[in-house]
Amino acid sequence: MRRDETLLLDMLIAARKVQRFAANLDEAEFRRSELHQSAIVRELQVIGEAARKVSDDFRSAHPTIDWHRIAGMRNRLVHEYFRVSVSIVWRTVQEEIPALIEQLEALIPPTLENE
């Protein structure tokens, strides 16, 4: 279980970075900023890679998190980077990341987050 908790913490840290990196931006600014796009895409890759490594037992016990979709986005960002839609990335940041943070915070023991 400890390995899963560590992976969840990696996901949470990356998701919080995504929020920080996107703070005070609107979609037009995001589209113009190569720096923000690169930083956010990198953290989304981290989220997806960690999600991919969470154990099957843990994923089965927490089906409200769309593990498959999270890992699928990582695969698209890494392997099909030339077809990534900036609009989809932006929508993910705005709509999916806040909910994911909430879900992860509920799963991570406070002691682990403070280590």
Encode pLDDT of 56-71 as tens digits: 999 999 999 999 999 9
Point out the least confidently predicted range of 61-65, 78-82, 85-89. 78-82
Distance, in Å, from the CA atom of 93 to the CA atom of 88, rounded to the nearest integer, reads 9
Q: At 62, list the tokens.
A: 């927490």
* pLDDT level of residue 85 (50, 70, 90 thresholds): very high
Mean pLDDT of 8-22: 98
Residue 62 is among the residues annotated as catalytic for this protein:
no
Spans of all domains in the chain = 2-108
Distance, in Å, from the CA atom of 36 to the CA atom of 25, rounded to the nearest integer, reads 9
pLDDT value of residue 81: 85
How many beta carbons lie within 10 A of that of residue 39, not counting itself? 16
Residue 36 is among the residues annotated as catalytic for this protein:
no
Q: Catalytic: which of 36, 42, 69, 74?
A: 74
- Are 108 and 9 in contact by the 8 Å Cβ rule? The answer is yes
Q: What is the mean pLDDT of the chain?
A: 93
Encode pLDDT of 39-57 as tens digits: 999 999 999 999 999 999 9
Q: Catalytic: which of 2, 42, 79, 83?
A: 79
